[in-house]
Structure 1
Amino acid sequence: MVVANKKSKQRQPRALSPGWRCAFRSIVAGAAAALLSIGLSACGGGAIKPASMDITLLGFNDFHGNLEPPRQAVVAKNAQGRSVAVPAGGAAYLAQAVAERRAASRHVAVVTAGDMIGASPIVSSLFLDEPTIEALNLMKVDFAATGNHEYDQGADELLRMQNGGCEKFTSKEPCQLSKPFKGAAFQYLAANTIRDDGKPLFPSTGVKFFEQDGLRIGVGFIGMTLQNTPHMVRPSGVKGLRFTAEALTANALIPQLRAQGADVIVVLVHEGGSTTSSLQDNSCQGLSGDIVPILEQLSAEVDVVISGHTHRAYLCDYAKVNPNKPFLLTSGGLYGTLLTEVKLTVDARTRRVSQKSARQNIVQGEAYTGSAGVVALQPDFPVFAADPGVAQLVARYKAAAQPLAAMPVGRLAAAALRMPHSNGESVVGRMVADSILAATQDAAAGGAQVAFMNSGGVRADLLPDASGQVTYGQLFSVQPFGNTLMVMSLTGEQIRQVLEQQFNSGTNTVDAPRILQVSQGFGYRFDRSQTAGQRVSEIRLNGRPLDMAQTYRVGLQSYLGTGGDNFSIFMQGTDVVGGMLDVDALVEHVRAQSWVAPMALPLHERIARVY
């Protein structure tokens, strides 16, 4: 600017202040870019806004209360390029991995994509998953999406997980060790879980702000579970709730997040898919699953999608699939075996993400004995020490659960695995189906003639010790949901329709069927190449063809009996009789048996697949 010079009465340039003179010299010298890059003024040491900010997201999913190492291995390539099995998991090691990766970055948010609780081993489940919430608090989680298993015990119990307290909403006693239970220090987000009053069960969104030398960047999070949750949880778990479409819900919330100051948009969604890519490959090769149609409908304003549900690990630069959808898609497998690390660079001028990348950190903590024997530590991968606080927490709850968990139940001469064979049957699945039949076949218990079990409800292998002993804790891990048994009447035709629903009902498809586990004496053939309604044939019960007009008594647990896993025909059952807890039935069945070895497959297949 210029002003009049009183002495000469001529218009003279006004002397610039030292700060302005310095800035002018810097610009003339072409030093502005350099100054921005280092974030300091060469003229006086005062800070100026940096050109960009680096932000790290640490995410995981489908933890399912696995406080102890879950006997899982992650397959990865070592320094020599060979695929090796890396032992992974355990809350204390996950906590240390979070702490170390947090320390490596200046700006960090820790988030999860659902199923932190539910379907948990006994050390967590016996205490209503309170210890898992407490472990997540120690990890300093910021936001958590709800998964379908968060609803296993109903909305009131889930609200207790958030807010704390000792009010009893289930058959188990709350606050057995923590008196009172304080609840989650992190915030659950449930944008598409809507109550009867039209409001979400939890907040839809959350924003975390980061500041650096005068630059303030907001990262907005939208948390959701899969819309199909009502078909995966018993009706009492979702009573009074409805679930809206994932992509449409997220898209509608983006303007709200922008108004709140969110420069980065992250979706935490408990839905997923799978790829054929290797662990650290972001090519999206072979991407498939229910997450894909959600991604195709999702706004291009989304920067990152952290997903879950399928228990698969993947990194995916989705722009390689659809250039109009340039977001990053990740999933961290299951049980805390992986910690996904997302790196974002946010441009200070545009306030948008200019670069993004992701990698999987394997949570290798200790050697363990798996179904294939002892898996050694892999020296080419980091080995995390146990976080002392979380280790102490786990030890406290483990000690409290030990008397019940260690109780001997029966003997097996070999491991019984839940991995399905090509026909969809698994050894453990057949054992569970047989246990349901055994517990319900007496007239007083309902008079069941056949029993069914959903394969997804069988949650663990049975691995006997050196003497062949299996314990209550192991059986609890196989059946952790606390479902009750029931018996109902169905016609032969309705049973046939149930079997057809394995291939054609909701998310049960020909390409991704849900094969029911069936009890001894029942069998059939299936051919996926046939047309809908004609894929199942030769249905037999105790060697005789099933009579389509006759009524049969069917044993199952309450999850299936109320239409779980899209088997809606079970909801047509009549003359329903209730029964004992599913885990109690399994305990009694194993205790009553004297097996030389578990029933092996493919010998004596109950289900025949036509190739």
Structure 2
Amino acid sequence: MRASRVRRGLTAVATALATAATATAATAGAAPQAPPEPATADVRLITFNDLHGNLEPPTGSSGEIELDDGGTVEAGGAAYLAAHLERLRAEVPNSLVFSAGDSVGASPVNSALFHDEPTIDFLNSQDVRAHVAGNHEFDEGYQELWRMATGGCHPQDGCEFRDSFAGADFPYLGSNVTFEGGAPALLPFTVQLSGGVPIGVIGATLHDLPSSVSPGAVRGLEFGDEVEAIDRTADALDRIGVKAQVVLLHQGDEAESGGPNSCDVAPGGPAHRIAAAVTPKVDALFTAHSHQQYTCTVPDPAGAPRPVLQGASYGRLLSVLDLRVDRASGEVVRQGSRARNEVVTRDIAPDPEAAALVEEAREKAAPIANRAVGTTAGDLLREPAPSGESSMGSVIADAQLESTADAGAQVALTNPGGVRADLPHASSPAGEGDGVVTYGEAFAVQPFGNTMQTITLTGAQLKGVLEQQWTPEGATILQVSAGLHYAWSESAPIGSKVSGLTLHGEPVVPDAPYRVAVNNFLAGGGDGFTGFLEGTDVTGGKLDLDALLDYFAAHPGVVPPSADRIEVQG
């Protein structure tokens, strides 16, 4: 925790104590008493999640929000996010702003080129008071997360955005994140005063976070059960007299349809499971990670309703929770709570301070970001077909196969979560022209800097990997390179869904060796694909972004591939 935040917290506590002392003295003396303080305090909590360094308004489908009536509206952008925050704070002066994780990592080039320092500066400017560590906060390891928190120039690249970097003015939370041996690696909670009442903020990240990052990024860390950690922390807050408690949970459900304030989510999701189980001491949960929009009410174990909500991603929604807190007991009056998601529309004047920061990042990144690297003949989109394949994912897989040909690769597979943006055919606001792909656009698609690896799997092991695409929690369909074809059955049981696996029209032989190209995240068993760990004869390769850049350079006018590599059967 930064010293400035500590000082501010101590000052707030001292002010509250002094106010209480003054009121007591006035009551004891003969001086006229001030009007009695209201029995309850109204406090507004505002949270965003999964910003991913999107300082500029995101484009394509990533810059739209589906409304309750089925229509869409353009949304997002740091300058508009700041303007809406100012409006919401003006409505309720006792307001606190939080982040539910993944503010950095997988970021566009304007933030990522500078190791996301511009995004941290933006969060500081918005007086964010607490931030749970998401999985992407660990993309570059714990030491980089610590640098984000405490400041200092990057150990290799120095300070490239500004002459110095002060770090975050807010604490990173993670009640279930420990070092091996059990010592806390992050603060479990923070207490914030608002309206004269203390609000306990508990942070918890997904317990299976190691499956979402490269193994080396979380070496030496352990991620415990979310419910156990939240309950333990809630008990500690209760013991010190903090009764109003909320959770920043970097875990979420999948929404099946609906606008920002619907609750049409897939049953049995992790956020609902956690929300139904954690102690009744917790009054609300802000969720994240799944990039979905929903506003739900889930009964706690005592049967009392409490809000559970998530605000999509990329700064397109703000999750707003209005609490009524009893001043005498410190408890939240549940029936007085109101939760909703508000769209960060672009129909209001942008905040000038935030706009200046965005423009500074854009100008400093422009010489690299606006360089043309290729052309396309149509939209390359990450929205999947019913089979699970997408045109953007197919192009990435083709690029990775081509980049690993020298290592003998016969097929390439890539994870859909690594495909981070569309490549629209229309020109971006930078004015490069229709069909022109810039470095910045390509970077937004492949921002992780994963290294390609080529491994040997038997045909049976390759089929086994494909069977791992389905789990009881849902499906993660890998993107496949041209030449590989198979069918999967919706009705078949998990573990037996794949059939008709061929390579260039020939059946894949179970005991024959095949050279398979994957990024190092998948090679390490990421996203639960542990079958890749069986690979042998590992050969290193290029960065995934470089593979995509080389592919665009070698193939002018890339045509969106047809969705015919994977077939869906009944």
Give the alignment's TM-score, normalised by structure 2.
0.90
- 1:207 and 1:241 mapped to 2: Cα distance? 25
Greater mean deviation of Cα atoms: 346-355 or 132-141? 346-355
1:64 match: 52
The answer (yes or no) to whether the contact 2:253–2:266 under 8 Å persists in 1 is no
Amino acid at match of 1:46: A
1:330 aligned partner = 309
Q: Which residue of 1 aligns with 2:374?
A: 410
- Match of 2:340, SS state, is strand
The match for 2:413 among 452, 455, 458 is 452
- Equivalent residue number for residue 74 of structure 1: 65
Aligned CA distance change for structure 1 residues 411 and 301 (closer, same or farther; 3 Å) = same
1:204 aligns with 2:219: no
Partner-residue secondary structure (3-state), 1:258 = helix
Tell me: CA distance 1:90–1:597, structure 2 relative to 1, closer, same or farther (3 Å): same
CA–CA distance in 2 between the matches of 1:528 and 1:314?
27
Q: 1:168-187 to 2 correspondence within 5 Å?
A: 168=155, 173-187=157-171
Q: How does 1:41-120 map to 2 (within 5 A)?
A: 44-71=32-59, 72-77=63-68, 82-120=69-107
Q: What CA distance in whole angstroms lies between the structure 2 residues aligned with 1:237 and 1:224? A: 18
Aligned to 2:20: none
Say whether the 8 Å CA contact 1:300–1:327 is kept in structure 2. Answer: no
| Preserved CA contact (<8 Å) 1:217 1:263 | no
Aligned to 1:419: 383
Deviation (angstroms), 1:348: 2.6
CA gap 1:579/1:58 in 2 versus in 1, 3 angstroms: same
Identity of aligned residues (%): 39
Amino acid at match of 1:457: G
Deviation per CA, 1:477-522, whole angstroms, max 9, x where unpaired? 1100010111111111110110010013xxxx4x621000011111
- 2:66–2:260 CA contact under 8 A, matched in 1: no
- 1:173-228 CA-to-partner distances (Å, cap 9, x unmatched) read 241022221100111111111112422222111001234xxxx4110011111011
The alpha-carbon distance between structure 1 residues 450 and 596, as it changes in their structure 2 partners (threshold 3 A), is closer
| 2:296 is equivalent to residue 316 of structure 1 | yes
Instruction: Please give the per-residue CA displacement for 1:241-290, whole angstroms capped at 9, x wherever unaligned.
Output: 11000011000111211233312010100001144574364666765522
Map of 1:244 onto structure 2: 224
Compared with structure 1, are the counterparts of its residues 283 and 477 closer, same or farther at alpha carbon in structure 2 (3 Å cutoff)? Answer: closer
Distance 2:378 2:525 in 1: 34
* Alpha-carbon shift at residue 296 of structure 1 (Å): 2.4
Matched length: 532
Gaps of 5+ in 1: 1-38, 366-382
* 2:180 matches 1:192: no
Amino acid at match of 2:231: N
**Displacement of 1:325 after TM fit?**
4.6
Q: Partners in 2 of 1:469 and 1:252 — Cα distance?
A: 53
Stretches of structure 2 lacking an aligned partner (at least 5 in a row) = 1-26, 428-432
| 2:142 pairs with 1:155 | yes
CA distance in 1, matches of 2:185, 2:258: 37
Task: Please say if residues 284 and 315 of structure 1, whose CA atoms lie closer than 8 Å, have aligned partners that are also in contact.
Answer: no
* Aligned CA-pair RMSD: 2.1
Distance 1:429 1:596 in 2: 13
* Structure whose alpha-carbon radius of gyration is higher: 1
Partner SS for 2:486: strand
Q: How far is 1:322 from its partner? A: 7.4
Over 3 Å counting, the alpha-carbon distance change for 1:409 and 1:282 in structure 2 is closer
Moved more, 281-290 or 405-414: 281-290
Listed one character per residue, the Cα deviations across residues 323-379 of structure 1 (whole Å, up to 9, x for unaligned) are 7152211111110001111100012343211121112221112xxxxxxxxxxxxxx
